[in-house]
Amino acid sequence: MSDSSIRTSNSVGTTSGSATGTANRTGGNRRSSTGSNQERVGTWGATLLVAEREILSQVRSKAFIISTVITLALVIGGIVLSSVLGNRAVDATPVAVVGSVPAEVTDSDALDVTAVAGRAEAEELVRAGDVDAALVPDGSAIGFSLIALDEAPEGLVSALSVSPTVELLDAAETTSGLRTLIGLAFGLVFMLAVIGSGATIMQNTVQEKQSRIVEILLAAVPARALLAGKILGNSVIGVGTAAAISAAAALGLAVTGQTELLDLLSAPLIWFVVFFVFGFVLVASVFAAGAALVSRQEDTGAVMTPAMMLVMIPYFGVVFFGDNALVMTILSYIPFSAPVAMPVRLFFGEAEWWEPVLSLGLLVAATAAVMLVASKIYTNSLLRMGSRVSLREALKAS
């Protein structure tokens, strides 16, 4: 081999070795940099990253935007429509009146009176359909009788009926209809927001397990941070949606001039938002823990149904037992029903000042306990694939 060939070979070897050494140093620097970045992003930072991912994935969804806009429009439109229908003037009933019918009858705003000379003329107007009925004097106790064409006009008969004065010894301060309406309003907002977000948490968790994406996620963030981020992100969405619905309802009441009802709702609405936050986290923890137990979408029904029952049973309890003071008091201290029952009691002024504070304390304590249990279930079950993991196995696993 010539000297020039040897020198060339040595030069190439030296260059190759230099490049390899540089690559190794660069790779080492990159690994060191990556490692330091991972150290800087702790549990709280990872939680915020997961929460941001959850929030952005929903707010960028057209389905979420469209459904939210439709919901807000229905809230405002429903309040405005009910106000318009409630204030709509009732058309007066056209009647023909003969002679000396008592003035308290003819002066009624519910009647459009046409005076006629005699009974024959009144009957002619009734037969022609110009009036619904005719009032003619007679010798009865009330002093007149009613003539109609083929059937008695029930509305007119009711308007002409004499009602006795009613005195209630133990009158209710509020009507049962208003109680049902307020219970439905608070209950529907809470139930729909919680079940909707809970279903999203469950669906996303199961999809991540099915696609094995969860293994990649857990390589970057702790399981507890992943759980906390999902709950935090969906809680922000849920609370924001509830706040938007409350603002839309307040706007509808203000536009329709129902300021008295709006004033009554102000303090209970503030308490409702506070209770909503912790109640939402409570139920979202249950949904997330249940989702970690299964690996297939078709198995989610077995774990989603119990979670939904925890929300729906207290809701129907508030709606159906709104008139029962004892049941409402009990429901206002049960963590799963307190977010609805306590604001309803506050709206009707049936709770002492200390009761919402005590109820909120119980709710916070229950939320913390459930989150601890949910965290253990989630951590122990998230990487287990195949058949559904039993609750006992999830709690016993190390």
Same domain, 183 and 331: yes
Average per-residue pLDDT in the chain? 80
Assess contact for 365 and 279: CB atoms under 8 A. no
- pLDDT, one tens digit per residue, over 342-379 is 999 998 888 899 999 999 999 999 999 999 999 999 98
Confidence band (pLDDT; 50, 70, 90) for 102? Answer: low
Same domain, 140 and 195: no
Pick the closest to residue 93 from 118, 144, 130, 137 (CA basis).
Answer: 130
Same domain, 274 and 341: yes
Q: Map tokens 């099915």 to a residue.
A: 210
* 10 found inside a domain: no
Strand order in the sheet with 144-147: 111-116, 93-98, 133-137, 144-147
pLDDT over 70, % of the chain: 80
Same domain, 369 and 287: yes
* 183 found inside a domain: yes
Helix (H) or strand (E) holding 194: helix 176-210
* 226 found inside a domain: yes
Helix (H) or strand (E) holding 93: strand 93-98
Q: Write down which residue in 102, 120, 152 finishes a domain.
A: 152
Q: Map tokens 């930072």 to a residue.
A: 45
Instruction: Write down the pLDDT at residue 172.
Output: 59
Query: How far apart, in whole angstroms, are the C-alpha atoms of residue 358 and residue 261?
Result: 26
Same domain, 114 and 229: no
DSSP readout, 316-381? HHHHHTTT-HHHHHHHTTSTTTHHHHHHHHHHTT-S-THHHHHHHHHHHHHHHHHHHHHHHHHHHH
Same domain, 142 and 71: no
* 11 found inside a domain: no
Neighbouring C-alpha atoms within 13 Å toward the C-beta of 391 = 8
* 51 found inside a domain: yes
Instruction: Write down the pLDDT at residue 397.
Output: 63
Q: Map tokens 């201290």 to a residue.
A: 333
- For residue 35, pLDDT over 50 is answered with no
Pick the closest to residue 99 from 114, 81, 80, 78 (CA basis).
Answer: 114
- pLDDT, one tens digit per residue, over 182-222 is 888 888 888 888 888 888 898 888 888 888 888 888 888 88
- pLDDT, one tens digit per residue, over 241-300 is 888 888 888 888 888 888 777 777 778 888 998 999 999 999 999 999 999 999 888 888
* 209 found inside a domain: yes
Confidence band (pLDDT; 50, 70, 90) for 21? Answer: very low
Query: How far apart, in whole angstroms, are the C-alpha atoms of residue 147 and residue 138?
Result: 12
Torsion of CA 148, 153, 155, 156, to 10 degrees: 10
* 198 found inside a domain: yes
Same domain, 184 and 298: yes
Pick the closest to residue 156 from 66, 96, 80, 228 (CA basis).
Answer: 96
Query: How far apart, in whole angstroms, are the C-alpha atoms of residue 291 and residue 300?
Result: 7
Query: How far apart, in whole angstroms, are the C-alpha atoms of residue 337 and residue 128?
Result: 61
By the 10 Å C-beta count (0-12 exposed, 13-18 middle, 19+ buried), 330 is classed as middle
Same domain, 240 and 128: no
Query: How far apart, in whole angstroms, are the C-alpha atoms of residue 48 and residue 53?
Result: 9
Assess contact for 131 and 125: CB atoms under 8 A. yes
DSSP readout, 167-186? --TT--SS-HHHHHHHHHHH
Q: Beta strand pairing status for 111-116 and 133-137?
A: unpaired
Instruction: Write down the pLDDT at residue 364.
Output: 96
Confidence band (pLDDT; 50, 70, 90) for 78? Answer: confident
Same domain, 148 and 274: no
Collapsed DSSP state (helix, strand, coil) of residue 205: helix
Same domain, 234 and 318: yes
- pLDDT, one tens digit per residue, over 310-328 is 888 888 888 888 888 899 9
Same domain, 120 and 262: no
Q: Give residues with Cβ within 8 angstroms of 369, minimum separation 6.
A: none
Helix (H) or strand (E) holding 112: strand 111-116
Domain of residue 280: give its range.
Answer: 46-83+175-396
The domain total for the chain is 2
Q: Map tokens 């790779």 to a residue.
A: 27
Same domain, 354 and 217: yes
Q: Give residues with Cβ within 8 angstroms of 209, minimum separation 6.
A: 292, 294, 295, 382, 385
Name the amino acid, one letter, at 323: D
Query: How far apart, in whole angstroms, are the C-alpha atoms of residue 236 and residue 277?
Result: 9
Q: How many residues comprise the chain? A: 398
* 6 found inside a domain: no
